[in-house]
Amino acid sequence: MREIVLDTETTGLDPLRGDRLVEIGCVEMVNRMPTGQTYHVYLNPERDMPQEAFNVHGLSSEFLSDKPLFASVVEDFLAFIGEAPLVIHNAMFDIGFINAELDRVARAAIPRDRLVDTLTLARRKHPGVSNRLDDLCSRYSIDNSRRTKHGALLDAELLAEVYIDLIGARQSQLILSETRQSFSVGPADTPRRQREVPLAPRVTEADIAAHAAFVATLGGTPYWNEYTKEN
């Protein structure tokens, strides 16, 4: 199953009041594991950068002035996400901005039924406590030391790790891996499950004598002689 973990950075909190996207970061997951495939772009918002937003992500108007407009990257963005579910922390915030940008370029909005909101999942699993991304990283022992500022791609990468723990996929994969290893018929150093009491040999002395008599009829020096007790 293919999923896309997504995060954005913006100029503010409300796309209906003129705030715009300035960064999109996406991480591809297949069967709940990151594949290493990502999508990342900075965007020119065609407006100023409020100081409050700059303090969050550190993206200045000067830095973004030569970056592409959303209209010029929309095809690549939509091609990357395809029809996959979108895993987003506080999903309605990000999808509100993305759909506002899609509307500006006359493209269809992304429906809500494609969204997996990790904030909702976290509140159900950890009620009554803070469930910000930093809190979840700390709770699941995920290293977020690089997150000195918000960044869409870095936050998507961290969220992918959080998501695996949040839904218990990491534990399930570990159990499956251990189970496969226990019953594996692989290299000699692969651990195997052993019987506490070995089974008794099923080949009788009579069977051995009969086989030796048969080998004697073959003449010459049959290869079997290398495995007989006499040799």
To the question of whether residue 57 is assigned a binding role by annotation, the answer is: yes
CA distance 111 to 99: 9
CA distance 81 to 26: 8
To the question of whether residue 19 is assigned a binding role by annotation, the answer is: no
> 71 with 104: CB under 8 angstroms?
yes
Active site residue 150: yes
Give residue for tokens 């690089």: 146
> 190 with 182: CB under 8 angstroms?
no
To the question of whether residue 165 is assigned a binding role by annotation, the answer is: no
Q: Are strands 2-10 and 21-30 parallel, antiparallel or unpaired?
A: antiparallel
To the question of whether residue 89 is assigned a binding role by annotation, the answer is: no
Q: Are strands 2-10 and 86-88 parallel, antiparallel or unpaired?
A: parallel
Among 109, 86, 100, 101, CA closest to 7: 86
To the question of whether residue 155 is assigned a binding role by annotation, the answer is: yes
User: Of residues 40, 89, 126, 150, which has the active-site annotation?
Assistant: 150
Binding site as annotated, residues: 7, 9, 52, 57, 155
The catalytic site residues sit at 150
Task: Name the binding residues for a divalent metal cation.
Answer: 7, 9, 155
Q: What are the binding residues for substrate?
A: 7, 9, 52, 57, 155
